[in-house]
Structure 1
Amino acid sequence: MRYLIYFIAAIFLCSCEGPKARKPIRTSSPQLIKSTVERNKELLDIEMQIISALVKNDSINTYTASTTGSWYYYEVKNDTATYTPKVEDVVTLTYNIMTLTNDTIYSAKEIGVQDILVNKPSLFKGLRNTFTLLKENEKATFIFPSSLAFGYHGDDNKIEPNTPIKSSIEIIKIKKSN
Structure 2
Amino acid sequence: MASTSSSSQQHNQLGYAFQEIVPWTASSSTALTKLRSPRWDVFINHCGIDVKYTIATTISNTLARTGLRVFLDKEALQGGDVIPTKIQDAMSSASLHISIFSTNYARSPWCLAELSFLLKTGTRIIPLFFHVDPCDLRWVDQGKGIYADAFIQHEKQGRYTFQKLQEWKMALQTVSFHFGCVINNN
Give the TM bin, normalised by the shorter chain.
under 0.3
Which has the larger Rg? Answer: 1
Identify which of structures 1 and 2 has the higher relative contact order when contacts are C-alpha pairs closer than 8 Å and 6+ apart: 1
Whichever structure has more strand as a proportion of its residues is: 1
Query: TM-score scaled to structure 1, two decimals?
Result: 0.28
Query: TM-score scaled to structure 2, two decimals?
Result: 0.27
Whichever structure has more helix as a proportion of its residues is: 2
